[in-house]
Amino acid sequence: MTPRLVAGEMVELQRTFASTFEKQAAEVMARREKFIIALCGGSVAAAFFPLLPSLAVNWTHVEVFWVDERAVPPTHPESNFALASRLFLVPARIPAERIHRMHGELPDLNQAARRAADELKAVAGDPPLLDLAIVGVGEDGHVASIFPSEATGGVATAVAHERMGDPPVLAVHDSPKPPVRRLTLTLSVLAHSSLVIVAAFGASKADALRGAIHGSGSATPVAELLRRAPASLVLLDREAAGLS
- Write down the H helix ranges in 35-178: 42-48, 80-84, 90-92, 109-124, 157-160
Cβ burial of 64 (10 Å; 0-12, 13-18, 19+) is buried
What's the CA gap between 11 and 240, in Å, rounded?
15
The 10s digit of each residue's pLDDT in 124-156 is 999 999 999 999 999 999 999 999 974 333 444
Which of the residue ranges 13-17, 41-45, 86-90, 163-167 would you say has the lowest mean pLDDT?
163-167
Is 244 a member of any domain?
no
Is 186 a member of any domain?
yes
Domain of 203: which CATH number? 3.40.50.1360
Range of the domain at 51: 4-237
* 8 Å CB contact between 49 and 89: no
Which residues, other chains included, contact 115 with Cβ-Cβ below 8 Å and sequence gap of 6+? 103, 106
Q: What angle do CA 98, 101, 103 make, to 5 degrees?
A: 145
Is 72 a member of any domain?
yes
Nearest to 21 by CA among 233, 225, 240: 233
Q: Which residue has the higher pLDDT, 96 or 1?
A: 96
Is 160 a member of any domain?
yes
Q: What is the pLDDT of residue 228?
A: 94
Q: What is the pLDDT of residue 244?
A: 59
Is 243 a member of any domain?
no
Which of the residue ranges 7-16, 216-225, 227-236 would you say has the lowest mean pLDDT?
216-225
208 pLDDT exceeds 70? Answer: yes
**Percent of the chain residues past pLDDT 70, beyond the cut:** 92
What's the CA gap between 91 and 78, in Å, rounded?
20
Nearest to 221 by CA among 194, 243, 189, 195: 189
* 8 Å CB contact between 221 and 188: no
Q: What pTM, to 2 d.p., does this model score?
A: 0.93
What's the CA gap between 224 and 60, in Å, rounded?
33
Domain count, the chain: 1
Is 178 a member of any domain?
yes
Is 242 a member of any domain?
no
* 8 Å CB contact between 67 and 144: yes
What's the CA gap between 16 and 117, in Å, rounded?
31
Is 179 a member of any domain?
yes
Whether the upstream peptide bond of residue 53 has omega within 30° of 0, thus cis, is no
**Percent of the chain residues past pLDDT 90, beyond the cut:** 86
